Chains A and B, each alone.
Chain A
Amino acid sequence: MSSSVEAITVLSSDGDEFKITVSAAKLSKPLNWMLEDVCFSDDCDEVPTIEVNSKTLVKVIEYCEKHAPRANSGASDSDAEELKKWDIEFMKMDVKDILFHILMAANYLHMEGLYDLACQTAADLMKGMTVSQIRKIFHIKNDFSSEEQEQLRRQHPGCSFD
């Protein structure tokens, strides 16, 4: 049963195998359910698939392994401070390439800490962007008519549609 194993094997959506320790997997509710439901003993050859691509799953597991000791035992203030610094380094990544995938994965895996961190990182990256940069990143089309644009410009003189 799950209590006898220390690490479990999961498959990414690309079909690659990944090992994740039980304590790290517990940071995710769905993974935790899997631990309880699925047989992870040696004679069970069913490997659960996580609908997250390999590149993203590597990062998610890295986050889980780093945060698991603190989440399970509680930590001193200095540990919390160290972890905060680690989070900032960890989040230095490209928005389109990986951050959005992390957001999706954290949401799908119900990982509150990672989800909040990724949302805040995205917000920090977005705040200085122009409207057209934002549209490009989110694949959004400008659906305002020229009259509506004119009206918005009048209300908020600082607004720009570009």
Chain B
Amino acid sequence: MASESNKPFLPFEIIINILKRLPIKSIVRFQCVCKDWKNLFTIPSFIAEQVLNSARENPFLLIHEYYYKYRRSSLRLLNQKMETAEVLSTHSIESFRRHWRINGSCNGLLCVELDTEQGRFPLSHLLWNPVMNEVREVPQTLNDFNSLSSVGFGYSSVVNDFKIVRLYHPELLKKKEDQGFYTNLNCAQMFSLSTGSWKELEFGALNARFTHDAVSANGNIFWFGWDLFPMIVSFNIATEVFTFTTIPTLQSGVDVAEHRCPFRVDVHGNKLAMCDGIHSVIRDSRTYSIHMWVVEEGDSESGNSLICTEKYKIGPLATVLKPLCIWRNQIVCIYEEGEVEGKGKDKGDLKDFLYLFNLTTKEWTKFHNFSAAYCHYAIFNYERSLVSVGNIQG
């Protein structure tokens, strides 16, 4: 019939190109169309292209709010208009333990740390794809009761593997005292999703302190730390090698020792960037401003030098807005119990908002996003993906 020949049968190659642009929920539904489609959705190259598309077209801000005391938590995705796009069910995580926090978010997978509850349980991790409702337990490491550590989580397309990297101090495994914000960490261990096991890594830092935040981008995991100078530690997920780069340029502007709040290490336009709120005293009056540095590869002969340049200074600000993360071209901030004097604002009111600073337009926008029912929060970049927490087939 003429009408039949009018409808072309699309080659599978074209169908793939259409399907990778679908939202995850449609892809999950369309598994039922036929076996070819169901199999396609498990192929690594398709999953990888879908993630790229998802990150570009549908980036989310993931907000985890919790209140340990009342054992309440909420996990939400905010869209680009800062509306709640989805409330994620945390049931599959809370069936393991009520206390948990997110260490990192990468290609739709979350690395979750189950809380040690004052050392009663050993520290352990879960890998979780909340959209696909898949959870995988990461085996426990030896003797890691009550340890302070800094955990990074990332993916490398070179080896097609996700890795969790933990910087820790072996002595702290035994001590129970609180080490404060900063910890001297001199050992490292790594879990690989494809091998399903942990191993110890060569870690050259002898007496360095690190913030608790790590971030991953382009097949690397980055930490911010310092011994004599501030430094960036990068871990290449494919080669499993650490690189330590001191950034003396940062020191002149920032008195690290004065810092109580950790630096935020984040990714901005595929470059590593750091954000921090800085209090300074000028002629007896205290001011507060937010600074952002961008880290770039330097042109030095040694090859791997990093140059850290201050790209933005926002302020002085009337209220203390603490930078939480960099999201697209915006710095996401939250109000922190302020030390800027004489403003007398209603703190409870300010606390319920997220403040976004647009680096292009230099404008602030304020969104009512937090509920008074929670007192802690963590924020991550997130994209929905089909990535499975099962073993990755090479």
A interface with B by C-beta (< 8 Å): 96-97, 100-101, 103-104, 107, 115, 119-120, 122-123, 126-128, 131, 134-135, 138-144, 149, 152, 156, 158-161
Contact = CB atoms under 8 A, between A and B. Distances in A.
B282 interface: no
B300 interface: no
Interface stretch (B3-11, B137-145, B321-329): B3-11
B31 A159 contact: yes
B31 to A, nearest CB: 6
A142 to B, nearest CB: 7
Given A119-B17, A123-B21, A126-B22, A138 B10 contact: yes
A126 B19 CA distance: 9
Contact of B28 (A101, A135, A143, A158): A158
A135 B32 CA distance: 10
Given A100-B8, A103-B10, A104-B10, A123 B33 contact: no
Contacts of A144: 32, 34-35
B22 A156 contact: no
A147 to B, nearest CB: 13
Interface in B19-62: 19, 21-23, 25-26, 28-35, 37-38
Contacts of A107: 11, 13-14
Contacts of B32: 131, 144, 149, 152, 159-161
Contacts of A160: 29, 32
B29 A104 contact: no
Contact of A131 (B15, B22, B30): B30
Contacts of B23: 127
The binding surface of chain B is classed by DSSP as helix
Nearest to B4: A139
B92 to A, nearest CB: 14
Given A107-B14, A134-B33, A156-B29, 11 more contacts: A96-B7, A103-B10, A115-B17, A119-B14, A123-B19, A123-B21, A126-B26, A127-B22, A143-B35, A152-B32, A158-B29
A123 B18 contact: yes
B28 A156 contact: yes
B30 A134 contact: yes
Q: What size tier do the contact residues of chain B reach?
A: 20 to 34
B8 A101 contact: yes
27 contacts: A97-B6, A100-B10, A101-B8, A107-B14, A119-B14, A120-B21, A122-B18, A123-B22, A126-B18, A127-B23, A131-B33, A134-B30, A138-B33, A139-B7, A140-B33, A140-B34, A141-B34, A144-B32, A144-B35, A149-B32, A152-B32, A156-B29, A156-B31, A158-B25, A159-B31, A159-B32, A160-B32
Contacts of A159: 28-29, 31-32
A139 B10 CA distance: 9
Contacts of A123: 18-19, 21-22
B50 to A, nearest CB: 11
A119 B20 CA distance: 9
Contacts of B34: 135, 140-144
Contacts of B11: 104, 107
A152 B10 CA distance: 26
A122 B10 CA distance: 12
Contacts of B35: 143-144
Contacts of A142: 33-34
A123 B6 CA distance: 21
B203 to A, nearest CB: 41
A141 B209 CA distance: 60
A119 B283 CA distance: 61
Contact of A104 (B6, B8, B19): B8
Contacts of B14: 103-104, 107, 119
Contacts of A135: 33-34
Contacts of A156: 28-29, 31
A18 to B, nearest CB: 20
A156 B386 CA distance: 13
A76 B15 CA distance: 33
